[in-house]
Amino acid sequence: MSEIVVRAMTAGDLPAVLKLEQALFPEDAWSEDMLRAELADQSRTRHYVVAETPGGELVGYAGLAAAGGQADVQTIGVRADRRGGGIGAALLTELLDEAARRGSEAVFLEVRADNPGARRLYERFGFDEVGVRRRYYQPSDVDAIVMCRKLRTRPPMGFTKESK
């Protein structure tokens, strides 16, 4: 994993990201226009990163939307032949760190119900299942599991001082 660099995504990365997006999510891949729109808001409410080898080969990407104390993982993709090597964990770590830097109290995401590997990753990072969006992924009619991780906890409320 040490040979992978996670850095900010640029418009120059879009051809490689789109190729990977099509390979990973053929039924519901994001379009170039969708990705360009996300990148256009990179400094305000979006944070998109790529994982690349020292030779500049793109092997993963991820995106976050963060505003108003809440963040949402928009996407995470890792090339199939590079899975299991910590790239997804590195990308998710960067998104969680950015959510914290932006003052988010919680991070939400949707994950396909038929993707146990991704669910295990999110659970390892402290995400809990909070709901289900029935038939969310189309055209395959696959449910989305909604997960959440709290980043900051509020102090206990309603405590009284002990009597002596």
Whether 122 is a known active-site residue: answer yes
Count of positions (residues) in the chain: 164
Q: How many CB atoms lie within 10 A of CB 82?
A: 17
From the candidates 38, 94, 110, 137, which is the catalytic residue?
110
From the candidates 122, 129, 136, 162, which is the catalytic residue?
122
Whether 3 is a known active-site residue: answer no
| Residue 4 to residue 6: CA distance in whole angstroms | 7
124: buried, middle or exposed (CB in 10 Å: 19+, 13-18, 0-12)? exposed
Catalytic site positions = 110, 122
